[in-house]
Structure 1
Amino acid sequence: MQKTERLLAITLLLQARGKMTARRLAEILGTSIRTIYRDINTLSLAHVPVSMDYGPGGGYYLSDDYHFESAIFTREEAVSLILSTDMSGNYSLFAGDDRLHRALIKLEAALPEEYRADVRAARERILFDTTAWCCQPLQTTYLETIRSAVLDSYHLDMLYPCVSCKDKPGVRWRHVEPYGLVFKALSRRHVRTGVWYLVAFCHTCQLFQTFRVGYIQNLHVRKEHISAQPNFDLQSYWEEERRFLDVHKQSITLLLRITPQARYNLRGEHIVLQEERDGSALIQAELESVEAAAFYTLSLGTGATVISPDEVRQAVTAAAHAIANMYDNMYHKPNGETTPA
């Protein structure tokens, strides 16, 4: 949870539930008590009248006549906060709390009209799918940049590992028009854990595709606005795409021979099947697709060798050749150009 989102959550919790201790706020928001102290100071500096009662039964509280002032947030912050609360409606933090839901509704109603128009536009382009899949989340390095490009309707160039592409497998640049972001929950119990997908029209393939944000290896924003296709609807597209992924999603049992050095870089759930005296090991990991298994292997560099299955070995080989060709072409360019044409 970002700091601005946390400040909003503290304000809404105090407004909806009344007096609360720093320890209780820290437990709900999944942070430290020290962080809550700093957040309370930040709210006070922003003229949010947080008071404190000491002793047994004490805690932080807001005055009864306090009204949330939406003007303390910028347009972008307001959009981010409302989208965050849309998503958090499925968290244990907000589940079954009618008072807090009413506070969230009041927050949105208090926004200026131009902010609410931006919120409506953002909701059409950013979805939160809380039906659970069982796969591993990845770090989303470029998520904020992509989110801005989606909301501002800018073209993107991205370096993406197309290991499952039959035409030109491997890592390559793609020119895309971003139409939406989808957050796919991985667990019904922990909705905060999930995977971000970019829905975009790919000029390389001339069709709409779904890209996993965590797989993007490099990204450039083109200051060129897309010409939105009026008949495209993100909700309808994702419903169809999810049905396709549910049918074709098959777990891959990946067997890797790992060097002692590479073992320090292992992430996610895995099983050590055999360990050698030199520290190397045979490991098994469950991945959701050939593409995910290839990406997992490539992230370990030369310290991992695919034992099985064959399709993952072939995908890793194709991606490695594509990476080598990319760098070979890059260093043979007269000006050392590293960005896409």
Structure 2
Amino acid sequence: MRATRLVSLLLLLQSRDRMTARELADALEVSVRTIYRDVDSLGAAGVPVYGEPGHDGGYRLLDGYRTRLTGLTASEAEVLFLTGLPAAAAQLGLTAATTTAQLKLMAALPAELRDRAGRVAGRFHLDLPPWYLGTERTPHLAAIADATWNQHAVKIRYLRWAEPHEITRTVQPHGLVLKAGNWYLVARGDGRFRTYRISRILDVDVLAQPFDRAEGFDLAGHWETYLEHFDRRRHRDTAVLRLSRRGLDRLPELLDPAAVAARKITAGPDAAGRTEIEIPIESIGAAVPELLKFGADVEVVAPEALRTEVVRTLRAMNRAYGV
């Protein structure tokens, strides 16, 4: 276990300019004191690692030092092929590069690891788009990916929901995110970060001037925060529902995860076995079709506007069926 950690520490320092003891401890999920001991062990083994004091200090390897550790464990070789996303790579314009890299890796692996990696590729397939929804057209994805990688600003013509629907902006692309089969661009413009759905980009012009990325920008952390804020902005209202036992059981399959996670039980179950809950909703219009999925297993208690709209919809359905 310790030997594996020492190798991981060495590879971390090799892949970055410098890292503090705290950063190394967080990355390896150990204490700072353990990092101090491990660095001493690497130094005693002849690895040219040294520490720089001060606010911008940290541990680093002597310039030019590269480890020759190239061995892969069986599980590491399997994971490399499990994480391959051919469809995503194709959308980014990297089909040939992905195929070539996999062939080179397979050729370099010993026979036993090659067989195990091949079994993973043949037994696990990642299909990202949700059920019954096709992959969106993203003709400008490759150009935006190239600009993101090479840190070039882009001028985009974008179709959004709000008025005016069509806008033109010059932005600095900081990252691309693949969420539920759809691609999103995280870019900075006018001093703030915004998220753009790639399929809604009508035109893109990659500009010649490069830009400096925002210092300390963390794409994964930014995206997680964005999703939390998005749900809070989307769920502007609340509704009180009275659900049967079956309706309560079907809640996770019929409502989106954010609404299910935020639900609050306010009363019940009553004599009829119905439980009263409060959930966040996006709007009256958006909530009606979602609640109709429950059939007779749900009754809207509040707000009155939502209850009235559900009743109006049900009466219209009755008229359509001659009831």
Alignment TM class, shorter chain as reference = 0.3 to 0.5
* Larger-Rg structure: 2
**Relative contact order, higher structure (CA 8 A, sep 6+):** 1
Q: TM-score, normalised by structure 2?
A: 0.34
Q: TM-score, normalised by structure 1?
A: 0.32
